[in-house]
A = this chain, B = another copy of it.
Amino acid sequence: MAVKFADRMENLKASEIRELLKFAADPTIISFAGGLPAPELFPVEEMKKVAVAVLEESGQTALQYTTTEGNVKLREQIAERMNRKFQTKVTLDDILITSGSQQGLDFSGKIFINEGDVVLVESPSYLGALNAFKAYGPKFIEVPTDDNGMIIEELEKILAKTDNVKMIYVIPDFQNPSGKTWSMERRTKFMEVVNKYEIPVIEDNPYGELRFEGEIMPSLKAMDTKDLVVFLGTFSKIFAPGLRIGWVCAPEEMLQKYNFVKQGSDLQSSTIAQMEAAKYCEMYDLDAHVEKIKAVYSKRRDLMMKVMEEEFPEGIKWTYSEGGLFTWVVLPEHINARDLLKKCLEEKVAFVPGGAFYPNGGNENTFRLNYSNATDEMLVEGMKRLARAIKSMM
Contacts and interface: CB of A to CB of B under 8 A. Distances in A.
A305 interface: no
Which of A34, A37, A64 is the most central at the interface, judged by chain B CB atoms within 10 Å of its CB? Answer: A64
A202 to B, nearest CB: 12
B9 A63 contact: no
Contact of A263 (B5, B8, B15, B240): B15
A3 to B, nearest CB: 5
B269 A99 contact: yes
A184 interface: no
Given A63-B47, A261-B12, A200 B3 contact: yes
Interface in A104-146: 106, 110-114, 117, 128, 131-132, 134-136
Which of A42, A136, A264 is the most central at the interface, judged by chain B CB atoms within 10 Å of its CB? Answer: A264
B65 A241 contact: yes
Given A15-B263, A106-B266, A55 B47 contact: yes
A100 B266 contact: yes
Q: How many copies does the complex hold?
A: 2
A266 B103 contact: yes
Contacts of A242: 61-66, 270-272
A281 interface: no
A67 B14 CA distance: 12
B3 A198 contact: yes
Given A52-B52, A106-B264, 5 more contacts: A3-B253, A12-B264, A22-B67, A40-B60, A135-B261
Contact of A114 (B6, B197, B260): B6
A260 B14 contact: yes
A63 B113 CA distance: 33
A106 B259 CA distance: 15
A117 to B, nearest CB: 8
Contacts of A13: 260
Nearest to A44: B59
Contacts of A244: 99, 266-271
Contact of A44 (B60, B106, B253, B270): B60
Contacts of A45: 59
Contact of A265 (B22, B103, B236, B271): B103
Given A1-B226, A5-B112, A21-B67, A48 B56 contact: yes
A328 to B, nearest CB: 21
Interface in A1-28: 1-9, 12-15, 18, 21-22
A198 to B, nearest CB: 4
19 contacts: A3-B198, A3-B254, A12-B257, A34-B65, A42-B60, A42-B63, A44-B55, A44-B59, A47-B59, A48-B51, A51-B51, A66-B242, A99-B244, A99-B266, A100-B266, A102-B267, A106-B264, A106-B265, A243-B271
